[in-house]
Amino acid sequence: MKTIVDTSVWLLAFRKRILSDAARFFNTCRTHGVQGSHIDFLISAVAANNGFAILTLDNDFSRYAQFINLSLVTL
C-alpha cells in the first residue's frame, strides 16, 4: 500500500485557530492602514502559531511585523 504524505504548511492553515488568527492579523493591519493579501496573513498565522520564522524577500511582511508578532529572516 502506498502512502502519500503531504508536508505542506497549507494543511496547518485549515485549523480553526489559524484561520481566526489570519483574520485578526488582517484586521489589525488594516486598522493601521496596512493592506495585505489573504495568503500573506495565512502564512503569518501559520508561522506565528508554530514558532516559525518567515524567510522572505517581500517587504510587505516587514510592514505587518510592525503590528503583529512575526519573526522574520530577510536576505
Looking at residue 3, its pLDDT comes to: 43
Residue 15's pLDDT is 72
pLDDT digits (tens, 9 = 90+) for 24-68: 999 999 999 999 999 999 999 989 988 999 998 889 999 999 999
- Determine the Cα–Cα distance for residues 46 and 2; give it in Å rounded to an integer: 29
What pTM value is reported for the model?
0.78
What sign does the dihedral 49-57-40-24 (CA atoms) show? Answer: positive
For residue 21, what is its C-alpha cell? 488568527
Instruction: Give pLDDT, residue 20.
Output: 92
Instruction: Give mean pLDDT, residues 12-18.
Output: 72
Provide the pLDDT confidence category of residue 9 given band limits of 50, 70 and 90.
low
